Amino acid sequence: MQIVVFITCSSKLEGRRIARALVEKRLAACVNIVDKIESIFCWKGKIEKAKEALLIVKSQKKKFTKIIKLVRTMHSYEVPEIIAFRIFGGDKRYLKWIDETLR
């Protein structure tokens, strides 16, 4: 089963390092980096805001635990956002490419 994982990072540079590691270790077929997002969130009882980069990771459910472990070792946040969504549909050729790339 293919998944999309969202990971927010403190910067594009941090995101690029994590993205490259995920692809090199075949935990992700592709990672998009969306720079300059603004996040507003509650942290330790206060409303905070931050400029971040968002990673959009295309992978497989069976790789998710390894993705979490890798991201935790590389990430600057105490509690990084690492959330996954199941892909319910898509171009069959693209979904096949994800599976073939991650073999």
Q: CA 38 to CA 36: how far, in whole Å?
A: 6
Q: Is the pTM of this model over 0.85?
A: yes
Consecutive 10-residue averages of pLDDT for the chain (103 residues) = 98 98 98 97 97 98 98 97 97 97 95
Domains in the chain with CATH codes: 2-101 (3.30.70.120)
Residues written for the chain: 103
Max Cα separation, the chain? 46
CA torsion 8→13→15→18, rounded to 10°? -140
